[in-house]
């Protein structure tokens, strides 16, 4: 039976048929038999056969198409023959090309990959003419990653060893790092700690000025230092730095600002009427110099009102001295200072108070007025 049934046939078996056990005369005894039948497959239509072929050959065809597509990706279209030809393999990068590749990675916002490439290049090319260019690019990778301290270490090395445009560009980047530190950016230590770096920013600017004195970049370094001290209320250092800026660059870009803030810082250095008034004296002199050099700018900045304010403060200081002598019952000394106020600071609030106190002490104001006019003062 198994030989008669092919694997392509379907065997349909029916249940065994039971014989009744009653046999007719002349009939041979019935033998049990398998009442099954062999079912041959029915004929397939052309469409069914085509579908089966597609199902069997489909993966092979798709795989072939995929391979063809991948192969085509490795080809380029020849415009002359209008045929697909094999793409030429790109040449291996040389030392010079690797630096250009690093620049490309930096421009694409991939500083880590560029850093890895540059570190390897520096190790393999310590004697290259472009060594400090690579060092500068390595600093740029740290700058883009906001690790400003490591960046400025590289840039300082380049600025101290390179020349020409690379020297100037490295110094410019040092100024950028200093500006970041002075604005509050932290110095990263051991990839964990972040420390204030204000002093580092000032030191970086000092070194830039030492390397590029008399240049516009050096001028900017001096201004940034003075601005930092002025903004943070260190008026004594601010006055010195602005005065130095005006001295080094008398026709520079920031001369007006430097002269004005020198006077403002000097005035701000006066702690009060109970202290020495030399800061006020210096501030008034610097305001007058500024007023003479830039009258229009001085008018816009209300310099005349500032000078008048200094006169009022100096008059208040002399008035405070006169009051002290009066409190200690030293009337002659008190009257001397009251009269001096009328002479030095007429038309001030202190002068009004001085006249009132002289009347209270029995001094004749008319005589004092005549004395002031005789000495060339203003009543």
pLDDT, one tens digit per residue, over 115-156 is 999 999 999 999 999 999 999 999 999 999 999 999 999 999
The pTM assigned to this predicted structure is: 0.69
Question: Three-state secondary structure along 268-311?
Answer: HCCCCCCCCCHHHHHHHHHHHHHHHHCHHHHHHCCHHHHHHHHH
**Cα–Cα distance between 161 and 101 in angstroms, integer?**
24
Taking the C-alpha atoms of residue 360 and residue 339, their distance in angstroms, rounded to an integer, is 13
Q: Are strands 75-78 and 83-86 parallel, antiparallel or unpaired?
A: antiparallel
Whether 162 and 170 have beta carbons less than 8 Å apart is answered as yes
Q: Which residues touch 5 (CB under 8 Å, ≥6 apart)?
A: 11, 38
DSSP strand pairing (10-12 vs 37-39): antiparallel
Q: Which two tokens stand for residue 315?
A: 């008059």
According to the model, what pLDDT value does residue 196 have?
85
Once rounded to an integer, what is the mean pLDDT over residues 23-30? 50
Please indicate whether residue 330 or residue 24 has the higher confidence score (pLDDT): 330
Q: Which CATH number fits domain 95-212: 3.90.1150.10, 1.10.620.20, 1.25.40.10, 3.20.10.10?
A: 1.25.40.10
* Phi then psi dihedrals of residue 28, to 5 deg: -70, 155
d(CA 112, CA 144): 9
> What is the reported pLDDT for 51?
60
| Per-residue CA distances from 294 to 102, 285, 290, 307 (Å) | 50, 14, 6, 15
Region 324-342: mean pLDDT is: 92
Highest-scoring range by mean pLDDT, 30-34, 276-280, 362-366: 276-280
Domain ranges of the chain: 95-212
Which of 90-94, 182-186, 316-320 shows the lowest per-residue confidence on average (mean pLDDT)? Answer: 90-94
pLDDT bin (cut points 50, 70, 90) of residue 45 is: low
Q: 308: how many CB neighbours lie within 10 A of its CB?
A: 14
Q: What are phi and psi of 14, to 5 degrees?
A: -100, 165
Bridge partner residues of 10 (DSSP): 39
Structure tokens at 23: 């046999």
Mean pLDDT calculated for residue range 336-343: 93
């Amino acid at each position: 039976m198994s030989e008669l049934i092919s694997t392509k046939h379907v065997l349909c078996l029916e249940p065994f048929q039971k014989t009744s056990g009653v046999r007719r005369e002349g009939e041979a005894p019935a033998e049990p038999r398998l009442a099954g039948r062999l079912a041959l497959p029915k004929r397939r239509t052309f469409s069914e056969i085509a579908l089966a072929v597609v199902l069997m050959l489909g993966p092979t065809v798709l795989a072939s198409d995929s391979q063809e597509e991948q192969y085509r990706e490795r080809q380029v279209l020849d415009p002359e023959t209008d045929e697909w030809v094999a793409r030429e393999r790109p040449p291996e990068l040389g030392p010079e090309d690797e630096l250009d590749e690093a620049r490309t990675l930096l421009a694409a916002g991939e500083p880590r990959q560029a850093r890895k490439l540059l570190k390897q290049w520096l190790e393999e090319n310590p004697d290259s003419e472009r060594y400090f260019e690579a060092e500068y690019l390595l600093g740029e990778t740290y700058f883009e990653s906001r690790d400003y301290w490591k960046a400025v270490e590289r840039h300082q090395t380049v600025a101290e060893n390179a020349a020409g445009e690379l020297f100037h560009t490295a110094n410019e980047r040092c100024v950028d790092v200093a500006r970041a530190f002075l604005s509050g950016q932290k110095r990263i230590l051991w990839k964990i700690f972040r420390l204030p770096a204000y002093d580092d920013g000032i030191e970086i600017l000092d070194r830039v000025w030492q390397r590029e004195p008399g240049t516009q970049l050096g001028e900017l370094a001096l201004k940034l230092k003075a601005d930092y001290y002025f903004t943070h209320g260190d008026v004594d250092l601010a006055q010195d730095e602005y005065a130095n800026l005006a001295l080094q660059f008398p026709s520079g870009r920031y001369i007006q600002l430097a002269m004005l803030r020198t006077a403002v810082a000097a005035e701000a250095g006066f702690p009060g009427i109970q202290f020495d008034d030399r800061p006020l004296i210096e501030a008034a002199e610097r305001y007058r110099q500024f007023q003479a050099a830039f009258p229009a700018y001085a008018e816009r900045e209300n310099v005349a009102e500032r000078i008048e304010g200094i006169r009022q403060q100096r008059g208040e200081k002399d008035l405070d001295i006169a009051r002290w002598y009066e409190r200690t019952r030293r009337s002659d000394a008190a009257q001397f200072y009251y009269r001096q106020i009328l002479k030095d600071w007429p038309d001030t609030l202190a002068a009004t108070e001085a006249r009132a106190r002289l009347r209270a002490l029995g001094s004749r104001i008319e005589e004092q007025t005549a004395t002031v006019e005789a000495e060339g003062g203003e009543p």
